[in-house]
């Protein structure tokens, strides 16, 4: 990253205000972008903001910060609790990299703390309802309400069959791995044979899960990390919330380690969301486990290719766990809602 003096000069040209940089610190946990906590002085007043920039490399399917900026503007306008994005710019951290600033939101996003810390017990009691309302707001964004939203990209286009588009995307990741994974091939075959028919198309967050929610003692503070958003089946988000890895040890509460599936689905429909088809939700939960599994394996390949990030080295062990969970779900069948 540029030194403080150089960054201050770049920030001053990027924002429409009298700005001075007082401090910059990296934020860990971003596998698809670079995040920083930036202390600014704006028009003489101290301000803390987050800075998000395109990383040198990223996972397949992740969007750039320019598209993400437009998505956040749309989500914010639809009532999704997500921090406002500001000052979109290019070349702030390196040539060709888009970046923007985001309002800082205090809270806790570490998954294991969200699901188990005693100080967040009251938050866990209200989070399912709050998250359901936020998800309904996300799904209120459609190709017809936001025809100019630049999220359309192959294979995730408004005209595509959402399930088949997702399977095409997952297949591309599987084929990018250096070795075949027999369990993945079996799960993939089941997904192809059990893909639900096309339904309503909405914006899908596609990474809506514990660990991407900022939580305070009174509940949800913000929905974060939009880098995989696309047009698709809204049930994809509910299935992904239930992926086993996102329970962070609270395995008896499938919906993000916070509640059971039926409780979250009732909260979703009560907030104005569509009625839940258990078979459709089941497909997306199996698919979500597999999608995260192959993505985890690919993270390890990024490390093997020379990216010096120990988080990338730790993630690949999740691949086997997710394969096992997907196979277990196929055997148990759709949930009772």
pLDDT digits (tens, 9 = 90+) for 247-261: 999 999 999 999 999
pLDDT confidence band for 300 (50 / 70 / 90): confident
Q: pLDDT, tens digit, for every residue of 63-73? A: 989 999 999 99
Domain ranges of the chain: 4-103, 111-332
Q: Are 162 and 201 in contact (CB under 8 A)?
A: yes
Report the CATH superfamily, name and number, of domain 4-103. Phosphorylase Kinase; domain 1 (3.30.200.20)
**Nearest-angstrom CA–CA distance, 183 and 156:** 25
| Predicted local confidence at residue 32, as pLDDT | 59
Please name which of 274, 111, 277 lies closest in space to residue 207, comparing C-alpha atoms.
111
b/e 104-129 (16+ beta carbons within 10 angstroms → b): ebebbbebebbbeeeebeebbeebbb
Residue 273: the pLDDT is 97
| CA pair distance 21, 39, nearest whole angstrom | 6
- Spatial contact of 294 and 184, defined as CB atoms under 8 Å apart: yes
Q: 52-66, 108-122, 273-287: which has the minimum mean pLDDT?
A: 52-66
Name the more confident of 35 and 306. 35
Residue-level pLDDT at 72: 96
Fold of 111-332: Aminoglycoside 3'-phosphotransferase; Chain: A, domain 2 (3.90.1200)
Average pLDDT over residues 13-31: 74
Dmax (CA) for the chain in angstroms is 62
218-230 mean pLDDT: 95
Q: Identify the residue with better confidence: 233 or 2.
A: 233
Q: Which residues pair with 37 in a beta bridge?
A: 25, 50
Q: Tell me how far apart the alpha carbons of residues 153 and 174 are, in angstroms, rounded to a whole number.
A: 20
Reported pTM:
0.92
Q: How confident is the model at residue 112 (pLDDT cuts 50, 70, 90)?
A: very high
């Amino acid at each position: 990253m540029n030194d403080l003096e150089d960054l201050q000069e770049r920030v001053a040209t990027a924002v429409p205000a009298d700005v001075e940089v007082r401090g910059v610190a990296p934020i860990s946990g971003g596998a698809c972008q670079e995040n920083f906590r930036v202390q600014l002085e704006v028009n003489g007043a101290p301000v803390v903001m987050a800075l998000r920039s395109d990383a040198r490399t990223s996972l397949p399917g992740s969007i750039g910060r320019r598209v993400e900026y437009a998505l956040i503007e749309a989500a914010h306008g639809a009532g999704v609790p997500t921090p406002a994005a500001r000052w979109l710019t290019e070349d702030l951290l390196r040539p060709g990299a888009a970046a923007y600033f985001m309002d800082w939101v205090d809270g806790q996003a570490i998954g294991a703390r969200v699901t188990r810390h005693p100080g967040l017990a009251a938050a866990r009691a209200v989070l399912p309802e709050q998250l359901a309302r936020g998800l309904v707001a996300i799904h209120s964004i459609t190709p017809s309400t936001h025809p100019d939203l630049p999220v359309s990209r192959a294979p995730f286009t408004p005209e595509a069959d959402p399930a088949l588009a997702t399977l095409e995307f997952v297949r591309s990741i599987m084929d990018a791995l250096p070795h075949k994974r027999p369990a993945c091939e079996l799960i993939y075959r089941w997904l192809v044979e059990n893909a639900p028919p096309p339904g309503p198309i909405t914006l899908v967050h596609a990474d809506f899960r514990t660990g991407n929610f900022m939580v305070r003692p009174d509940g949800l503070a913000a929905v974060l990390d939009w880098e995989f958003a696309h047009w698709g089946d809204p049930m994809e988000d509910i299935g992904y919330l239930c992926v086993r890895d996102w329970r962070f040890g609270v395995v008896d509460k499938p919906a993000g380690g916070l509640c059971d599936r039926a409780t979250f689905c009732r909260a979703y429909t009560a907030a104005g969301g569509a009625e839940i088809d258990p078979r459709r939700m089941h497909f997306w939960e199996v698919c979500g486990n597999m999608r995260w599994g192959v993505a985890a394996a690919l993270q390890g390949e990024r490390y093997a290719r020379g990216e010096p990030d120990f988080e990338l080295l730790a993630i690949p062990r999740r691949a086997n766990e997710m394969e096992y969970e997907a196979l277990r779900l196929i055997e148990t069948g759709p949930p009772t809602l």
